[in-house]
Amino acid sequence: MISALNCPFCHIDDQQIIFQDELVMSFRDGFPISRGHSLIIPKRHIPSFFELTEQEHKSLLYALRIIKNDLDKELTPNGYNIGINDGLAAGQTVMHLHIHMIPRYTGDCTDPRGGVRWIFPEKAAYWLDNST
């Protein structure tokens, strides 16, 4: 597992921080998949959402709201994908818990239906499935 020593999220420049409190902070994703793609993390280097303390949990969700309001004002997106890749099997590449806050814009892809279901493209479009 990546330790705090070589974890990119444990070494975010102060200028990159868009929100923080004692326990959590937020900054833009370094390789954004949409305009405004932001990450919200606990300051403590833990890999999983399920290791949060109750107070970290509260702060993280509060920060999510703050970031949402800021993004609404700054970029007026039309929707959001909010997600956590929790564990290697789920695709996590930076083993410091982070919530992806991904603003979505009408027309930013051909058909946005299904959202996070597209981790398995062959199963995503359930509305086309006549087998059940």
Active-site residues, by number, are 98
- Based on the shown chain and the rule CB under 5 A, indicate whether residue 7 belongs to the binding site for Zn ion: yes
Question: Vertex 81, ends 71 and 103: CA angle to 5°?
Answer: 30
- Based on the shown chain and the rule CB under 6 A, indicate whether residue 91 belongs to the binding site for ligand 5GP: yes
d(CA 105, CA 131): 32
Among 59, 96, 98, 103, binds Zn ion (CB under 5 A): 96
**Is 4 or 125 the residue whose CB approaches ligand 5GP more closely?**
4
d(CA 47, CA 7): 11
Among 35, 45, 57, 68, binds Zn ion (CB under 5 A): 45
Q: Which stretch binds Zn ion (CB under 5 A): 60-68, 70-78, 89-97, 110-118?
A: 89-97
Distances (CA, A) of 21 to 26, 49, 109: 10, 18, 35
Contacts 24+ apart (CB under 8 A), 61-65: 62/21, 63/19, 63/21, 63/24, 63/25, 63/26, 64/40, 64/99, 64/101
Q: Which stretch binds ligand 5GP (CB under 6 A): 42-50, 67-75, 89-97, 120-128?
A: 89-97
Among 31, 54, 106, 110, binds ligand 5GP (CB under 6 A): 31
Q: In the beta sheet, which residues pair with residue 103?
A: 80
Tell me the two tokens of residue 132.
């059940």
**Is 10 or 124 the residue whose CB approaches Zn ion more closely?**
10
Residues that bind ligand 5GP (CB under 6 A): 8, 27, 29-31, 85, 91-94
Residues that bind Zn ion (CB under 5 A): 4, 7, 9-10, 45, 96
